[in-house]
Structure 1
Amino acid sequence: MTQAKERVPATAEVPVRVVDSDVHPVPRPGVVAEYIPEKWRKFLLSHKVGDTINYDAPDYAHAFAMRVDAFPTDGGFPGSDPDMMFKQLIIEAGSDIAVLEPSSKFTRIPEASSAMCTATNEWLANHWLDSRNNWHQRWRGSICVSIEDPQGAVAEIEKWAGHPHMAQILIKAEPRPSWGNPLYDPVWAAATKHDITVSCHLSRGNYETMPMPPVGFPSYNHDFMVTYSLLAANQVMSLIFDGVFDRFPSLRIVLVEHAFTWILPLMWRMDAIYAARKSWMTIKRKPSDYVKDHIKFTTQPLDYPEDKTELSRALEWMEAEKILLFSSDYPHWTFDDPKWLLKHLPEHAREAVMFKNGIETYKLPTTVPAVESQTRVW
């Protein structure tokens, strides 16, 4: 512990060449409880049931959908040890900056969800972004907010937007109505006021907050996983056709872990409808232009067809260099190593996807303090 407190960043700097936009820290048992506002503490800590679909990832019974080598030796859960994550993600995998996206409990009561976000933000700031655990300056945090409680969300944004290591606002896609509704305008206004990106990570929710396809809940986890892309597609359409980007022209949205190859046919379809019904619409540009200027997608999960040339063509057609951000999804079993992902990108898009888009999207530095023995992907 004495050694950890004495660690300081190196004076030498190295260029940022990998920005990882999806990394999951996890609190140790009981740590977040002290940060939950007392009004909601008992409610949030006592309700432990509600998931209606079990997650049946490989070896879930033993590894809980995590990398088996990511379990700390002290018996903690993967993602709970900043030093272990630093070793595996920064030193060994070669990421230079990692955007941390903690999971926050999602309830049917908007104010309760906001209370959990408040606690999560305090925990992240005190246990990951502090000088002891972020001595290397590689961690960037997320301001977790409950978008279904716009007033509470704005309060959290105002509280944390000035923090030097908070890089984005983190929301979920499940709450209804869709994002184009003026109900959420205060959240978009706060984000643009502080020039901070809004990211949306997939989640499960409980009860009626589960993401539901138009024909009802699916039967199995594998088809449920596919519905995340459908949910994201609906939010993209709502943002564009309901005029959010015209009302907030500097708004930046990132869709995390919702896949991305579906955006190409969606852009084609939206543009076709726009061409046919332009006189009926109030938006000012082609839908695909809004996507390329305002929306980014993370690379994980990467749809990988048997014929790799099909993926290469799709990446070219969708202009991947404009809309993709590298992500590893550490420490989950679906982890994508940056060295592996790099090989599947068109050569001209590699710098943009692996680090340039991340630096621009999250307003990150172009260099970071050097650390000894780090794998350099480039």
Structure 2
Amino acid sequence: MTLAHQQARIPAAEQVAVRVVDSDVHPVPRRGELLEYIPEPYRTSYFRSHRVGDTILYDAPDYAHAYAMRVDSFPENGEFPGSDPDLAFRQLILDAGSDIAILEPTVKAARLPEATQALATGVNHWLANHWLDSHNNWHTRWRGSICAAIDDPVGAVREIEHWAGHEYMSQILIKAEPRPAWGDPKYDPIWAAATKHDLVVSCHLARGAFETMPMTPVGFPSYNHDFMVTYSLLAANQIMSLIFDGVFDRFPSLRIVFVEHAFTWILPLMWRMDAIYEARKSFTGIRRKPSEYVKEHIKFTTQPLDYPEDKTELTRAFEWMECEKILLFSSDYPHWTFDDPSWLAKHLPTYARERVMFRNGIETYHLPETVPVLQGQRRVF
């Protein structure tokens, strides 16, 4: 970022075409910054007895070294990676070449759904005031998420209605862990609010506490690497519930994005669901083949990319799953698993590159096709 940008923070009049939409970027509150936004009574009765904004439930091979973050993403003031909008802007937008980034804050699930929703409410106000404001979003590259506790449908709808008209709120962000599965009618008010405002619903993997953590059919996993695989299984079960419980038939314009749940598993899942549908079509009650619902209503982010030793295997999987219809580029900044957009673009089939890197993102989040020019920005395309 140039000195002129730091001082004036005025977007350029000249526009440039959007060529990278990053659908997974993680902003983090500075220490003590979030608490004031959490509404009462939960601010005092619940969260003042819990540390908020300065802990992380995460693990990775280099966790002891850099808390599973990019080592260069720690701000000089000692705060946590993702807490400095200017540093994120420089590393992600200027240096890496992302044009628009979808911000996905973490909302840790509490045992009380109402408390989770109170935290989500606080996060939404914090995000609007510290990232999407005119000072930090002067370049108009940040887009926010309306965080909603899906296990508190009344509170979630209230939050969606409050933020749906915000210029830079581009999606609704939920978690997949709460029970029952998404096909249950209790969640219909959330789907109705999403379709009413034409907002995509994104689901990011999460870590809660006790029974709010993801559980397999045989109980809780033992290790972190178990959990990382479990997230894909969790997403698969939610997809089956959405389809076979008729959610997409009840809400034909509903759109869902699974963030960081991987995606290569969707191909065999579509095959299996279609086979069951053909065998038991009259018993399912749904109107189309399950794979057709997936390709029309569901998208996945590219990170984490399951990369086999033989790249041709990945290329074939991309082709068979029609990746140009269902994938969105994501970097996962500032985590250690960060995927540079230039690196990812090289691993995509040529015919799918533009769809995955930016066109699907523009359509999914209703983004502009051009943004103000930034001096010194790297261009991926």
Q: Is the Cα contact below 8 Å between 2:121 and 2:147 reproduced in 1?
A: yes
> In structure 2, what residue type is equivalent to 1:8?
I
Counterparts of 1:54 and 1:239, CA distance in 2: 28
Show the counterpart of 2:211.
Answer: 208
State the identity as a percent: 75
Q: Deviations over 1:24-61 (max 9, x none)?
A: 00000111111111200131232359xxx974412212
Q: Is the Cα contact below 8 Å between 1:358 and 1:364 reproduced in 2?
A: yes
Q: Is the Cα contact below 8 Å between 2:108 and 2:206 reproduced in 1?
A: no
Counterparts of 2:132 and 2:7, CA distance in 1: 14
Show the counterpart of 2:311.
Answer: 308
How far 1:3 moved relative to its partner?
7.0
Q: 1:342 aligns with which of 333, 340, 345?
A: 345
Q: Is the Cα contact below 8 Å between 2:267 and 2:321 reproduced in 1?
A: yes
Counterparts of 2:212 and 2:79, CA distance in 1: 29
Answering whether residue 60 of structure 2 is matched by residue 57 of structure 1, we say yes
Show the counterpart of 1:25.
Answer: 27
Show the counterpart of 2:231.
Answer: 228
1:226-265 to 2 correspondence within 5 Å?
226-265=229-268
Tell me how many residue pairs correspond in the alignment.
375
Q: Deviations over 1:237-295 (max 9, x none)?
A: 00000000000000000000000000000000000000000011111000000000000
How far 1:229 moved relative to its partner?
0.1
Q: 1:162 aligns with which of 161, 165, 179?
A: 165
Structure 1 residues 223 and 19: alpha-carbon distance in aligned structure 2, compared to 1, 3 A threshold = same
Unaligned runs of 5+ in 2: none
How far 1:76 moved relative to its partner?
1.1
> In structure 1, what residue type is equivalent to 2:43?
R
Show the counterpart of 1:7.
Answer: 9
Unaligned runs of 5+ in 1: none
Show the counterpart of 1:352.
Answer: 355
1:8-157 to 2 correspondence within 5 Å?
8-42=10-44, 43-48=46-51, 55-157=58-160
Counterparts of 1:231 and 1:175, CA distance in 2: 11
How far 1:220 moved relative to its partner?
1.2
How far 1:357 moved relative to its partner?
0.3
Counterparts of 2:232 and 2:268, CA distance in 1: 13
Q: Deviations over 1:144-178 (max 9, x none)?
A: 00000000000000000000100000000000000
Counterparts of 1:15 and 1:375, CA distance in 2: 13
Show the counterpart of 1:199.
Answer: 202
Counterparts of 2:156 and 2:59, CA distance in 1: 32
Counterparts of 1:234 and 1:91, CA distance in 2: 38
Per mean C-alpha deviation after superposition, the further-off stretch among 144-153 and 56-65 is 56-65
> In structure 2, what residue type is equivalent to 1:124?
L
Q: Is the Cα contact below 8 Å between 1:5 and 1:132 reproduced in 2?
A: no
Show the counterpart of 1:182.
Answer: 185
Counterparts of 1:203 and 1:130, CA distance in 2: 26
> In structure 2, what residue type is equivalent to 1:37?
P
Supply the RMSD in Å over aligned alpha carbons: 1.5
> In structure 2, what residue type is equivalent to 1:68?
V
Q: Is the Cα contact below 8 Å between 1:54 and 1:221 reproduced in 2?
A: no
Q: Is the Cα contact below 8 Å between 1:325 and 1:354 reproduced in 2?
A: yes
Q: Deviations over 1:349-370 (max 9, x none)?
A: 0000000000000000000001
Q: Is the Cα contact below 8 Å between 2:108 and 2:207 reproduced in 1?
A: no
How far 1:4 moved relative to its partner?
4.2
SS at match of 1:141: strand
Structure 1 residues 83 and 48: alpha-carbon distance in aligned structure 2, compared to 1, 3 A threshold = closer
Counterparts of 1:182 and 1:257, CA distance in 2: 26
Show the counterpart of 1:294.
Answer: 297
Counterparts of 1:204 and 1:105, CA distance in 2: 7
> In structure 2, what residue type is equivalent to 1:199?
S
Structure 1 residues 2 and 15: alpha-carbon distance in aligned structure 2, compared to 1, 3 A threshold = closer
TM-score by length of 1: 0.97
Structure 1 residues 72 and 54: alpha-carbon distance in aligned structure 2, compared to 1, 3 A threshold = closer
Show the counterpart of 1:217.
Answer: 220
Q: Is the Cα contact below 8 Å between 2:195 and 2:251 reproduced in 1?
A: yes
Q: Is the Cα contact below 8 Å between 1:94 and 1:374 reproduced in 2?
A: yes
Q: Deviations over 1:92-148 (max 9, x none)?
A: 000000000000121010110110011000000000000000000000000000000
Counterparts of 2:327 and 2:5, CA distance in 1: 39
Counterparts of 1:69 and 1:113, CA distance in 2: 31
SS at match of 1:38: coil
Counterparts of 1:289 and 1:57, CA distance in 2: 36
Counterparts of 2:48 and 2:102, CA distance in 1: 27
> In structure 2, what residue type is equivalent to 1:33?
L
Counterparts of 1:55 and 1:360, CA distance in 2: 32
TM-score by length of 2: 0.96
